[in-house]
Structure 1
């Protein structure tokens, strides 16, 4: 019988007392009791100023329970780790603890029920498939993977294929997988994939041409387009939605002539059939009637003679010889799996903005213009603006409900409005039965079958690295996290002598932060961050949302005058009355671009509680801004330990959900963020950002100068030497763009190296794409391979076979412990490798070293004491892009209530209007 005894109080005062009480029931985790005061929030959910992403003395991004601040999952769990009690969440608890937050003297709440040894009757099992035999991963697939890798190893092609020429015309090839990794504890995992069976089929591919029937001068229409397109193919006359409707009409006619026809099309120019079509004429005539017109149009749809093809034939030339492997991941012509699976059994969910104002029939106007030969519109009315309601009343005699919205079934530039009551939407109900993909008639007709069971794959649980602090004091990691109890930062920057604090208020009611600021300075000194602890006279700014720009700028000018005789770098702690994105944008833009101040923001309510979690969060960021290193990893791979490897990360973010219409001139730019390490500990990552054409993913010519500037900074920081190895993590690129990275971005990096390196001595490069925008998920098959809190796979789990590319080099890594929901692994794909296979050969060691290197990096996110889900070079680059967006509020609206003075905010600007980071901050981690 399950043990339902009540857990102990748990908690303890912190310090030496943390962790010994309340062991009954897994430290009083509880099911329903033990809320504690304020549920362990510890003040504004542990954001600790700049978003609270990485609390230090107890877990990055908010501890274990809850997503941002360690609420304590199940109302009584203690949250993550704490500095002085190994309890509190990231930013949880207060000075005496908010009963569940931990912190300086966190008491913890009462425990609830002890965990049960077995589920209640009817309760789902903790592990999916626990009540059935877990199938072994496919031995056939494993054998095929091993066979392919053995062939690659025997050919020894990897190094040869990685030596790419400088020319943009070079035949760029992706490196073959050297081997599958073998380090770590081997486990079997579920993957959200289903095995697909394929029966060989012969298909017939037809080309389609659509041409409008045009009347001659004698009112005789032009028949039979074969006479004018006999010798050369003409372009289709129509496109878009109209073309799709015409092709659908033609397919309906074909089915009338051949009821057994099984057809598929992309509604553009291709038609696929499972058998040769039976039709009387290869030119079908169809009649099209437009949605907004009484007129009809006739079109010829010409069906070009079929090409008989089998699957094997698509991989061979006309002589039956196999095609040579090309520079693409998923076969010839750059077709990605997302394109192949497009629109197959697709279900869409539509999202709406909050407070969205609907446009009803009486709210939407359009212009009615005269047609040729007509003198009025809509019967006998004058041309002009009319509502959809007026038009529908005239044409259909129907009064549509003015309270319901219109639905645009067209495009933004060519709308086609339909009243909502005339639309039918398929309900998005949950499917509580088997998906039934194996019973889908379309798939069956094409010889495709879907297994009912999830696939199992082999995974490996990598050993988590230990982290090192001052004097190489080792801290063991557990569950992807650790705490900083009794340690100091690994390396501090210069002593912070020139610093100030500003308290922004919006009313007479506020908590004086002077005492908290003094204790904050003392806290930093005890943490190993050297700072002048002499009392500072704070500056209080009374403002409102309409005066943010002017009031903050005036305050910063006063600080500038005060600090004129001190050291050049001024650090400013800004205490905000509340979380306010507009105020934050003003502060960061003025500090980063106009005055050259390092700024850190904290919310008054949180900061004045003097929670060590909050202080540590701010301190870690401050040390990084000051050039310090918060922690290192123990035993990094050789090329890193030697201090000869620079790691680069870059990303591009695009303007989305901006409400822009096609053709608008004032289009927000895309923003590029690039970071690069400058030390062997991979602790400092100075950044550069710039703007480029909106929607452009590939980096423009500015990459060359930016990459060159990173090499110059490395040389400045490393006794005039340049790196021998450069590892690049490129974020946010889809499969279809992989080759473009090599064709457009790699040559610029090569050219920057050619300019910087004397005597033609070039560094070795590796380029790895990191992606989290994918749908692959993995699940544990046994409880001993499952995280006890989130029920996800354990942190450090890597999957490099079963659901990866056999020919090319990619792997999935779940480095972190997910706090909420199903853990999403990061997928890494190697586009170029001149380092790992060169140093370790076509062996398991090359795969192991790359996986270890990437895994170790995830423990080096400087402002957190947790492993992050994607490696820091890519993560930092994304943060740089976010900061650059903050600098451009006129484009990237940070608030619905932004004032005009904010929109025209000050700061140094480039010729194109982009804000330029102040010279004093350009070689620092100003963005953190």
Structure 2
């Protein structure tokens, strides 16, 4: 409600201004509202400001109008305080203005550097030539690579936004940065030096402890920081022993281990923080102007320092280099535990230092992580009903299916237990009290322990355990089912007597774990629980599960169940003001940004308040659809989307003369299928035969063979489209359907899920599915109305490509799963059709090679084949490369751009000019967020409005980049996409100082051209489609990614094998020729 306090001398002002004396943040003076003038947010007259003197969002006591008060002498007269009462982040210190010093430096730099570009570029373009051939040919225009920003964008309505950045203040001091490596000392020593072990590389928590012990050896007076993997930063040169090696002893293992930590002096000198700060104040690099990223070593050193304290916090957990989570009861922030779940979902905080124009910034954001559920392992197993292993050996034949299921459940649970840190309790016995030890579990006890793949005892090892036989190839064992050799101990003193064994055990016999614990510890183990192995497979060490505690804060890479996914989404979905509040309060606590002695010694402080920046709201494009009588009519989006009530798709694809429907339930969905097809024809304008080929459709058995049989039957009858009715979202069934349709048989398929249909309603759901159908058959769902831009001239092809990597597999499995590269390209000026190509690559390979060249050649020839292009090749190619980090920008230019150039050289005849290329990197997985400062520039979800673009304040003026939030976030905090220009031969040459506006407009307009939605999307379609086509390839080749024992990449058909001379890996399934040049993947 409006503020009831008396206001003074207020004009009525529009928008959110109105009544009371009081300035913008509650000052005493009279004055306008938030922006003054006629803009939303305040009137011109001397009236209440945004918050009015002493008031608040819902109206407070004292002078000042309400948040939406309409003005007047008493500050009343306004409507309800706000449609989002108390919604927007506004700390007690108020909302600061964007830093004028930064804006001044940005403007000066553009005036002196950016202003020179158009003339230079014109001269260079006239001299442009292709040099060389084969690999590495390139157009030699140096200024086109990592081009200087031509200007800042100016189009759209200006708006002030919060950004999730704190200003970072550094008093530069000399730094020493060392790299370290760790190796184990063998049991045997030589006379002069420690002998290295051949054991595998140490990692994780163990590596942390080893490096931590080495750092503590320097004493408390030496200021150090580390990420506890490879690097150490200090304020002074370290006094190291001869050889720069420190030997430490790790005592919390079963046998004390000695490790050597070797320190290496930095190869490239010391991090020069002073030089970094001077660069940011001038943005002039006295070194290599084309080198990027700038001052990477200095930024890395500062990140190590900022991350050290939260990393050594025993009540925190970290994931990667930048994400931190509180795990203690007082600070932990977790989602409600799902029954039957082994995961815990925590809210934590991300931090990373970013160099921006004129200053260093600390990017801080809310993040979420999946962790192993902590607690007693025995209890967790009982909660899952897995405590009956002792019944397996004597099970009857009719229990075979139950035993196989139990084996599968334990096998799946092993993913949770693999390489997890546990606390093992050793019960008290005799005069020895109860003890605890930290161990690493590798899984459950299995009948393969201590043996090789052939089942023979491992040579040179101890006597392997023996196991009670079990039916149905059941591989796991419990305390009463595993025996180990109980040998006579050898005293350290040969003269000492051997202590007697605990009764009734005898030396040199085989005993069960159950009998051993009963005799030695008087402990009755739970024989229904599987044993836990805290040793190695070749030399197992078994512990009863009820004596094992899963320690908190252990990240878990796993594929979440649908229930867990829902929990994650619900927990992570928070409005922008809530996240802003967390970043400025809880994040600072978890990240130790307040009163941190280590930061103080390094001369670092972090401002308390988030910064504000200037953004702009771009208007949406006008779209073209088909109206009455087949005419083209304009559609103006509103609120980031549009309705198709009175219009149809812009252009229908190929007519669908043969279709049918497939289902798995007893109920025949004929009426639904007929109604849906009628809807596509009548309401959407899609050309499709009214009746199916088989009136009753086809029912498939719910199995792989059942799906293949049904799909083969439909293929033989000539079906072009199969509508598949699914009872649920089972991924395995879906993958089989898509592999059969897209790869084996060449039939387009669309899947309709019964539950989703019921939830979303008939018309809306059908419309979305119909959009997919039209795209698959070559249609255009919407176009840009009267497009006169670069794209509308019909001479520009747009390309998007991405590489996705295997994730959430069991440890080691991701080393086998291939990475998948996907590339799509437009085929005409409408930007409606994006056929693509996918291929496999060696696991976790990001940079593309010669296969990219062939893919580009295919896309160019497909463009040339289109009738609308009259056999011409594109004059321009705009490329959106998805998903590479700033540290990989130069690799894209050095490795991938030459392949693209070579493709053009192969396809374009000598008489035709080679195409101009602009290469833009698009990134959606970043941590920058913007929050509204007032309701006039916010959506109902309290995020910035659609079309918000930010290209200054948090960027570097030297690099041409911008953030664009094209979409409306229906819930949660909207994430903008980040675009960085790596190469530009088009926009600066054609648009001069307006190049930034032209690129931002093109990118924004394209976000409305995503074919399967009637709303703007968050990332431009070429990048979006490239990601989708990779996802579909993963479905086609799911056996390569499921992480199971049988998902090996070996076959006579050579799926997963390397291709000579490239990073390419053959996939198991390839797209059928009939669908190869279509949007089958949509």
The answer, yes or no, to whether TM exceeds 0.5 is yes
1:790 is paired with a residue of what secondary structure?
A: coil
Alignment pair present for 1:709 and 2:858: yes
Aligned residue among 675, 678, 688 for 1:521 = 678
Aligned residue among 98, 102, 109 for 1:141 = 102
Aligned residue among 638, 641, 663 for 1:504 = 663
Alignment pair present for 1:919 and 2:1073: yes
* Corresponding residue for residue 669 of structure 1: 818
- Structure 1 CA distance for aligned equivalents of residues 513 and 148 of structure 2: 59
1:859 is paired with a residue of what secondary structure?
A: coil
Aligned residue among 838, 842, 863 for 2:989 = 838
For residue 724 of structure 1, report the CA deviation from its aligned partner.
0.6
* Corresponding residue for residue 199 of structure 1: 171
- Structure 1 CA distance for aligned equivalents of residues 661 and 105 of structure 2: 65
- Structure 1 CA distance for aligned equivalents of residues 611 and 600 of structure 2: 20
Aligned residue among 966, 986, 1011 for 1:862 = 1011
Please say which of residues 874-883 and 150-159 is displaced more in the overlay: 150-159
* Corresponding residue for residue 249 of structure 2: 288
- Residues 1:445 and 1:336: Cα distance change in structure 2 (over 3 Å): closer
* Corresponding residue for residue 782 of structure 2: 631
- Structure 1 CA distance for aligned equivalents of residues 86 and 1074 of structure 2: 57
- Residues 1:305 and 1:659: Cα distance change in structure 2 (over 3 Å): closer
- Structure 1 CA distance for aligned equivalents of residues 124 and 525 of structure 2: 65
Aligned residue among 298, 311, 314 for 2:273 = 311
- Structure 2 CA distance for aligned equivalents of residues 649 and 670 of structure 1: 17
Alignment pair present for 1:363 and 2:483: no
For residue 790 of structure 1, report the CA deviation from its aligned partner.
0.8
For residue 604 of structure 1, report the CA deviation from its aligned partner.
5.1
- Residues 1:332 and 1:126: Cα distance change in structure 2 (over 3 Å): closer
Aligned residue among 261, 269, 273 for 2:222 = 261
Aligned residue among 541, 544, 554 for 2:709 = 554
Q: Conserved in 2, the CA contact under 8 Å of 1:909 and 1:916?
A: no
1:765 is paired with a residue of what secondary structure?
A: strand
- Residues 1:288 and 1:551: Cα distance change in structure 2 (over 3 Å): closer
Please say which of residues 706-715 and 402-411 is displaced more in the overlay: 402-411
**CA deviation profile, 1:731-763 (whole Å, cap 9, x unmatched):** 121222222212221111111100011116210
Q: How many aligned residue pairs are there?
A: 779
2:1075 is paired with a residue of what secondary structure?
A: coil
- Structure 2 CA distance for aligned equivalents of residues 752 and 861 of structure 1: 27
* TM score, norm. by length of structure 1: 0.72
1:443 is paired with a residue of what secondary structure?
A: helix
Q: Conserved in 2, the CA contact under 8 Å of 1:585 and 1:886?
A: yes
* Corresponding residue for residue 652 of structure 2: 492
- Residues 1:214 and 1:678: Cα distance change in structure 2 (over 3 Å): closer
Gap runs ≥5 in structure 2: 4-77, 311-322, 326-345, 347-368, 374-383, 385-411, 425-442, 452-456, 465-484, 490-506, 556-570, 572-581, 1058-1064
- Structure 2 CA distance for aligned equivalents of residues 455 and 871 of structure 1: 27
For residue 309 of structure 1, report the CA deviation from its aligned partner.
6.4
* Corresponding residue for residue 771 of structure 1: 923
For residue 148 of structure 1, report the CA deviation from its aligned partner.
2.5
* Corresponding residue for residue 658 of structure 1: 809
- Structure 2 CA distance for aligned equivalents of residues 560 and 305 of structure 1: 64
* Aligned residue runs from structure 1 range 270-349, under 5 A: 271-275=232-236, 286-289=247-250, 291-292=252-253, 294=255, 297=258, 310-312=272-274, 322-332=286-296, 345=310, 346-348=323-325, 349=346
Aligned residue among 635, 638, 643 for 1:475 = 635
- Structure 2 CA distance for aligned equivalents of residues 575 and 321 of structure 1: 61
- Structure 1 CA distance for aligned equivalents of residues 137 and 769 of structure 2: 49
Gap runs ≥5 in structure 1: 4-114, 226-234, 564-568
Q: Conserved in 2, the CA contact under 8 Å of 1:169 and 1:743?
A: no
- Structure 1 CA distance for aligned equivalents of residues 929 and 751 of structure 2: 36
Q: Conserved in 1, the CA contact under 8 Å of 2:800 and 2:823?
A: yes
Q: Over the residues paired in the alignment, what is the CA RMSD in angstroms?
A: 5.0
Alignment pair present for 1:118 and 2:97: no
For residue 827 of structure 1, report the CA deviation from its aligned partner.
0.8
- Residues 1:570 and 1:288: Cα distance change in structure 2 (over 3 Å): same
For residue 220 of structure 1, report the CA deviation from its aligned partner.
4.3
Q: Conserved in 2, the CA contact under 8 Å of 1:731 and 1:770?
A: yes
Aligned residue among 888, 893, 904 for 1:737 = 888
For residue 858 of structure 1, report the CA deviation from its aligned partner.
0.3
**CA deviation profile, 1:524-577 (whole Å, cap 9, x unmatched):** 24432223335754343344323xx433433344434444xxxxx722223334
- Structure 2 CA distance for aligned equivalents of residues 733 and 707 of structure 1: 19
**CA deviation profile, 1:174-224 (whole Å, cap 9, x unmatched):** 11211110111001000111111111222345676878889999x74459x
- Residues 1:707 and 1:248: Cα distance change in structure 2 (over 3 Å): same
* Aligned residue runs from structure 1 range 723-734, under 5 A: 723-734=874-885
Q: Conserved in 2, the CA contact under 8 Å of 1:671 and 1:689?
A: yes
- Structure 2 CA distance for aligned equivalents of residues 518 and 459 of structure 1: 47
Q: Conserved in 2, the CA contact under 8 Å of 1:195 and 1:450?
A: yes
1:452 is paired with a residue of what secondary structure?
A: strand
- Residues 1:335 and 1:160: Cα distance change in structure 2 (over 3 Å): farther
* Corresponding residue for residue 18 of structure 2: none
Q: Conserved in 1, the CA contact under 8 Å of 2:817 and 2:1041?
A: yes
Q: Conserved in 2, the CA contact under 8 Å of 1:772 and 1:824?
A: yes
**CA deviation profile, 1:659-717 (whole Å, cap 9, x unmatched):** 253697xx332222211001101011111112121221222422111110000000001
* Corresponding residue for residue 248 of structure 1: 212
Greater relative contact order, per chain length (Cα 8 Å cut-off, separation 6+)? 1
* TM score, norm. by length of structure 2: 0.63
2:962 is paired with a residue of what secondary structure?
A: strand
2:943 is paired with a residue of what secondary structure?
A: coil
- Residues 1:713 and 1:336: Cα distance change in structure 2 (over 3 Å): farther
